[in-house]
Chain A
Amino acid sequence: MTPRRKQRLIMVVFMLIGIGLATTLALKAFNENMMFFYSPTEIASGKAPQNHDFRLGGLVVEGSVRREDNNLTVFFDLTDNNEVITVSYDKILPDLFREGQGIIARGQLNQDGIVVAVEVLAKHDENYMPPEVSDALAKNGGEES
């Protein structure tokens, strides 16, 4: 092998190691931060993971929103017209959060079976239904809007 070829080879090896490292890290980060979506029925049957973020979606049950008196914490129930799951959230709810509306939350289950949400999303269209939510409703024979 000529010296030039050898240098080239070293360069290529370096690059491959770099890309390999980046890919490994990317896949690891990907796995750690991948979140599955669950419907209230799936959560009630114990499918949701412990100690790992996941997303859930459903309709906010009418009349289920209750607040604590001296802080921002709010509780509300989500349903797919089959099971009901309670969600707690201690930040400001999005503008379009309403009772009866389809929303998506991200968070973890606590011991009491309540989902402690770190993010609540409601879409910026009054007729819009998140596809995950309408799928989950359709599975339970609920009406799609």
Chain B
Amino acid sequence: MIPEIGQAALIIAFALALIQASLPLVGAQIGKPRWVNLATPVARGQLLFIVIAYACLSYSFLVNDFSVRYVASTSNTALPLIYKISGVWGAHEGSLLLWALLLSAWTVVVSIFSKSIPKIMLARVISVMGMISVGFISFMLFTSNPFIRLFPAPIDGRSLNPLLQDFGLAIHPPMLYMGYVGFSVAFAFSIAAMIDGKLDAAWARWVRPWTNIAWVFMTLGIALGSWWAYYELGWGGWWFWDPVENASLMPWLVGTALIHSLAVTEKRAAFKSWTVLLAIFSFSLSLLGTFLVRSGVLTSVHAFATDPARGVFILVFLVIVVGGSLVLFSWRASSLRSVGQFAPVSRETGLLFNNVILVTMAGTVLLGTLYPLVLDALGVGKISVGPPYFNQVMVFLAVPLYLLMGFGLFLRWKKDSVSRIKTKIIIPLSLALVAGVLLPLFLAPEQNGLTFIGLISASWVALAALLWLLNSTVSPFKLPASTWGAVIAHIGMAVTVTGITLTSIYSHEKDVRLAPGEFYQVGDYQFRLIGVKEIRRDNYIAYQGIVEASESGKHLVLMHPEKRTYNQSSMPMTEAAIDAGLFRDLFVALGEPLGAGSWSLRIYHKPFVRWIWMGALIMAFGGLLAAADKRYRRFRPHKKAVV
């Protein structure tokens, strides 16, 4: 009964989404206030019914209703409670329902916090979000219905992939989806502005906090995914240039460009059509991300679905969204006139270059991710592009970007002079050079060119941000939250860059064969295999290794890497033992038994690896702070150039 209620709720939500997508928009065009006024209540109604549908599916998971096919294929009775809750989005159908839920929730939140937005504008925004909702709900109803029954119902379900039974992974998809869906707000506002033919500073102030919040979720989602891959997959890497990772990185890069371009649109009434274009692309890339991960076109752990009808549906949806908005853009973009003039040396120019670099980065990732798929689809050949491609191109593009990140803050809007900038940057630049050269010389065992480049970049970005804050004519504590947000986000980037540089260059990774009593030495660290025993837990059995790690002869910690076999599956799983620290992680994973008590072991020493995710947390905090700036909450927009 409950699944049928869920199904009915989904159909009602679909009908409401259809109304939401059409009437307010048409009403705004032909001047029917009644239709315009429908937007908010209909959006709330849609949310209510999607919540009901979502609750019904969750209920089916909680009571182990294996007559529902989706539940039977992703859950079982032995699954701990938390993974039953997260199991709802553990596979394709349910993750779409989560998408739809988050989308209608964002819509309602926008309608609540938009008191300063004219009714007509708001109606258009809500309508566009309704259109996206129509797309997602029909996707579910026609190709991937989570409520389909299974006859006869199995007694027990299949298990969620044990890899996915993990807290980090349980919250990774919702975070990422919050980001993906969040970019739909900027997208909807852009479409509405094009229909309206007007895009002013007030518009930018409405869009900026939403874009920031979406970006914050996206940053956290990507960082969580990277962290999960590091500790759970047992490979000890933090980024693999896997297509699913690239799928989330591309909207992040374009979204970062959008955040900066919006600043120009707000303060200087320039870059207007460019901002709109970025909003279209960041959302389109979010859809592409969903398409890549969920359609099964990728040979990857994340590709759950293998039904081609679904792939075709998302592809068509993508073509409609991208094609439709670009047609509208080519028709209406000329009405969004950018009036702000600027000189070649100005903050606008700095941000222009920032945007060009970020978009180029996204483009190279797109090339490396999609080109092999296109060739394969055309039947030309099966190729793949190795991580060195991405690494080379990204490092090449990142260095000028980091240079700009420091310069850009000091630049003035409209017109600045080289000589003024010189006096401003001389201190942070020389400090950064000294720090970036001396630190590796004194503290690192050996240096290579990239160590210096990485550390100089990181210290430059961080010092420039800090000194810019201190240099300001007003007391730093009187500066607006958005200024603090920018500084903190830049420092976060510097922390991440430091982590990436040092981990990439100084990590020591080795697969070794050890018999009990034997040891392996990495620098000052010694790893001694004491033994391997068999242990038995509630839902798995495991081999557990005992490895003593010591530093310079002193006992440090006992590490317990495991090789688990879950009851419901014959797949073994590697559970690495990690001794985490601010400046280094020790990482031990169990390989296979090699006979005579010997085991293969994977032993890593990873300096500064935590800094990568710490930096992402700091960036996210900066983004949140910027979104909370007072000026976005003002009712009557009035111009004021602060930064």
Contact = CB atoms under 8 A, between A and B. Distances in A.
Interface of A: 4, 7-8, 10-11, 15, 18-19, 22, 25-26, 29-30, 32-37, 53, 55, 67, 70-72, 90-93, 95-96, 104, 106, 123-126, 130-132, 135
Nearest to B574: A95
A71 B515 CA distance: 11
B571 A96 contact: yes
Contact of B393 (A15, A29, A126): A29
Contacts of A124: 161, 163, 301, 571
Given A92-B602, A123-B301, A26 B383 contact: no
24 contacts: A7-B343, A7-B344, A11-B344, A15-B356, A22-B364, A22-B393, A25-B396, A26-B389, A30-B371, A33-B387, A35-B383, A37-B381, A53-B386, A67-B594, A70-B513, A92-B511, A92-B602, A93-B591, A95-B234, A95-B574, A96-B571, A96-B572, A130-B299, A132-B299
Contacts of A25: 392-393, 396
Contact of A55 (B371, B384, B389): B384
A30 B511 contact: no
Contacts of A4: 343
Contacts of B573: 95
Contacts of A93: 591-592
* Interface hub of A30, A91, A132, A135 (most chain B Cβ within 10 A): A30
A37 B383 contact: yes
A22 B385 contact: no
B511 A72 contact: yes
Given A19-B356, A29-B393, A92 B343 contact: no
B367 interface: yes
* Interface hub of A70, A91, A106, A126 (most chain B Cβ within 10 A): A91
A125 B303 CA distance: 11
A10 B349 CA distance: 12
Interface string B511-532: 1110000000000000000000
B299 A34 contact: no
B385 A34 contact: yes
B153 interface: no
Contacts of B163: 124
B513 A72 contact: yes
B397 interface: yes
* Interface hub of A11, A25, A33 (most chain B Cβ within 10 A): A33
A18 B356 contact: yes
A95 B396 contact: no
Interface in B517-575: 563, 569-574
Nearest to A57: B382
Interface of B: 161, 163, 234, 299, 301, 343-344, 349, 353, 356, 360, 364, 367-368, 371, 381-389, 392-393, 396-397, 400, 511-513, 563, 569-574, 589, 591-592, 594, 600, 602
Nearest to A90: B511
A114 to B, nearest CB: 19
Contacts of B400: 18
A6 to B, nearest CB: 10
B396 A22 contact: yes
A123 B571 CA distance: 10
Contact of A126 (B344, B360, B569): B569
Contacts of B393: 22, 25-26, 29
Nearest to B599: A92
Nearest to B590: A92
A91 B511 contact: yes
A126 B396 contact: no
Contacts of A32: 388-389
B383 A36 contact: yes
* Interface hub of A33, A72, A92 (most chain B Cβ within 10 A): A92
Contacts of B600: 72, 92
A26 B367 contact: yes
Contact of A33 (B386, B572, B589, B592): B386
B522 to A, nearest CB: 16
A8 to B, nearest CB: 7
B344 A26 contact: no
B388 A71 contact: no
* Interface hub of A22, A67, A91, A123 (most chain B Cβ within 10 A): A22
Contacts of A8: 344
Given A29-B393, A30-B368, 9 more contacts: A4-B343, A19-B356, A29-B388, A30-B385, A33-B389, A36-B382, A37-B381, A93-B592, A132-B299
A37 B393 CA distance: 23
A35 B384 CA distance: 5
A11 B345 CA distance: 10
A2 B89 CA distance: 60
A71 B513 contact: yes
A126 B572 CA distance: 10
Nearest to A73: B513
Nearest to A53: B386
A123 B356 contact: no
A62 to B, nearest CB: 17
A22 B386 contact: no
Contacts of A33: 385-389, 392
Q: Nearest 8 A-B pairs (CB), nearest first? A: A92-B591, A37-B382, A33-B389, A33-B386, A7-B344, A29-B392, A91-B511, A29-B389
Contact of A34 (B383, B397, B574, B602): B383
B388 A22 contact: no
B296 to A, nearest CB: 9
Contacts of B392: 25, 29, 33
Nearest to A27: B367
Contacts of A135: 382
B382 A132 contact: yes
A126 B364 contact: no
Nearest to B361: A22
A114 B573 CA distance: 29
B594 A125 contact: no
A34 B349 CA distance: 35
A131 B296 CA distance: 10
A92 B592 contact: yes
Nearest to A55: B384
A70 B574 CA distance: 23
B305 to A, nearest CB: 13
